[in-house]
Amino acid sequence: MRAHLVVERRCEKLFEGEVVAEIFAGRRRNTEAQTELIAVGFVVPEFGEMFQRFGRDRNNRFADATSATVAGKGFEGTHAGKATVSQMSTDSNHISMELRADVDLISSVIRTADLRSPVAACPDWDLRKLVEHTGSVHRWATHAIIHGSQPPMDTNFSPGPDDNLAVWIVDGTTALIDALAAAGPEAETWHPFPLEQKVWVWGRRLALETAMHRWDAQTAAGLEAMLDPELSSTGIGEYLEMGLPRILARADVPPPSASLHVHCTDVSGEWLVWSDNGSYRMLPVHDKGDAALRGPAADIWLVLMGRLDRSEVDIVGDPAAADAWLDLPDW
């Protein structure tokens, strides 16, 4: 990896400090054929304090992107103005609105649909199983948020035989929303994901999972299903940031050797993923890869989640490179 140090002196009001350095890190096998990937870290007088202004993962979030360097750890917070992704709000009110809207739609669907309807994206699941899974996960997460620890393995969060499923799913989400609001996004908690142990991770994860399973429920019932483009862009980013590392670790396989550029065409959102000597790397930047996956954010998210055939999005460059990433096991 080549590194170039560019020294600047200018005031950055956002950080309330003086920028004294930018670190440009280049990742290239062929430096002449491809533009240089740039990850920028700003050094300011109160470096740790700067990260506190961003309710995100200050330690691990980009550590895998560019190793344990200043650029890797500082990219999102310090370079957000140049990044190509608009992040989903971690505010509990925003998360609550997303959760409430989607669970109300799920509840509405199952009041009239045949609960034996198969869910195409989830083998061996019918609509009843989909709703039981979603409601159980909400209750599982609520326990973790309230107690700050992993729920006991023998805890049963499933509905009882006399529960009305349409009411049960709403009740569980209401409890989750209340727990998220009471704790606040920056509260410490437990979760099984490779990000900081903060409540905002639960909020984002469950808002995205609930939206996708709402889509599943509507599709299983033969109804039109839509996904918000901005939410979908966040879903893509979460998958590339958090989902793919889990997939690779669980399957005990290295990332594909070819690089992939993912590009939303309707809202902001671009990412580059690649292998660095067998280690997974990702940055939310515009940069050329061996292949590119292009299309509306919702379509790309659905492809990555195994809900839509890859032929529904544009694949530019080497098709084999794109297939190598898209053929990885499901999340």
In a domain, 251, yes or no: yes
Report whether 26 contacts 52 (CB < 8 A). no
Q: Are residues 200 and 236 in the same domain?
A: no
Query: pLDDT higher for 18 or 117?
Result: 117
In a domain, 44, yes or no: yes
CA–CA separation, 120 vs 134, rounded Å? 16
140-151 confidence digits (pLDDT tens): 999 999 999 999
Instruction: Enumerate the β-bridge partners of residue 317.
Output: 291
In a domain, 86, yes or no: no
Q: Are residues 177 and 248 in the same domain?
A: no
Q: Are residues 107 and 198 in the same domain?
A: yes
């470096």: which residue's tokens?
47
* Confidence band, pLDDT 50/70/90 cuts, at residue 330: confident
**Domain ends where: 196, 220, 244?**
220
In a domain, 261, yes or no: yes
Task: Give the predicted TM-score (pTM) of the model.
Answer: 0.76
Query: pLDDT higher for 310 or 29?
Result: 310
Q: Are residues 189 and 131 in the same domain?
A: yes
Q: Are residues 209 and 104 in the same domain?
A: yes
In a domain, 83, yes or no: no
CA–CA separation, 212 vs 215, rounded Å? 5
Q: Are residues 143 and 215 in the same domain?
A: yes
CA 276, 303, 284 angle in degrees (round to 5)? 40
20-43 confidence digits (pLDDT tens): 223 223 333 333 333 333 333 333
Q: What is the CATH number of the domain that holds 116?
A: 1.20.120
255-266 confidence digits (pLDDT tens): 999 999 999 999
In a domain, 331, yes or no: no
Q: Which residues fall within 8 angstroms of residue 16, CB to CB, at 6 or more apart?
A: 46
Q: Are residues 249 and 166 in the same domain?
A: no
Q: Are residues 253 and 216 in the same domain?
A: no
34-89 confidence digits (pLDDT tens): 333 333 333 333 333 333 333 333 333 333 333 333 333 333 333 333 344 545 55
Q: Are residues 117 and 203 in the same domain?
A: yes
Q: What is the pLDDT of residue 230?
A: 95
Per residue, what are the HEC states of 53-89?
CCCCCCCCCCHHHHCCCHHHHHHHHHCCCCCCCCCCC
In a domain, 285, yes or no: yes
Q: Are residues 211 and 100 in the same domain?
A: yes
**Domain ends where: 78, 108, 130?**
78
CA–CA separation, 214 vs 219, rounded Å? 8
Q: Which residues fall within 8 angstroms of residue 319, CB to CB, at 6 or more apart?
A: 291
CA–CA separation, 236 vs 243, rounded Å? 9
CA–CA separation, 41 vs 19, rounded Å? 10
Compute the chain's Rg from CA coordinates.
21
Query: What is the Cα 225 distance to its own chain's centre?
Result: 20
Q: Are residues 117 and 213 in the same domain?
A: yes
Q: What is the mean pLDDT of residues 308-318?
A: 97
Query: What residues make up the domain containing 206?
Result: 92-220
Closest CA to 290 of 327, 328, 239, 324: 324
In a domain, 301, yes or no: yes
6: burial class by Cβ within 10 Å (0-12, 13-18, 19+)?
Answer: exposed
How many domains is the chain partitioned into structurally? 3
Q: What is the CATH number of the domain that holds 299?
A: 3.30.1050.10
- H or E segment and range at residue 4: strand 2-6
Q: Are residues 96 and 201 in the same domain?
A: yes
192-224 confidence digits (pLDDT tens): 998 999 999 999 999 999 999 999 999 999 999
Q: What is the pLDDT of residue 56?
A: 39
Report whether 204 contacts 234 (CB < 8 A). yes
CA–CA separation, 178 vs 165, rounded Å? 20
CA–CA separation, 42 vs 5, rounded Å? 11
* Confidence band, pLDDT 50/70/90 cuts, at residue 90: low
Q: Which residues fall within 8 angstroms of residue 27, CB to CB, at 6 or more apart?
A: 1, 37, 274, 276, 281
**Domain ends where: 78, 106, 123?**
78
User: Which amino acid is it at 206?
Assistant: L
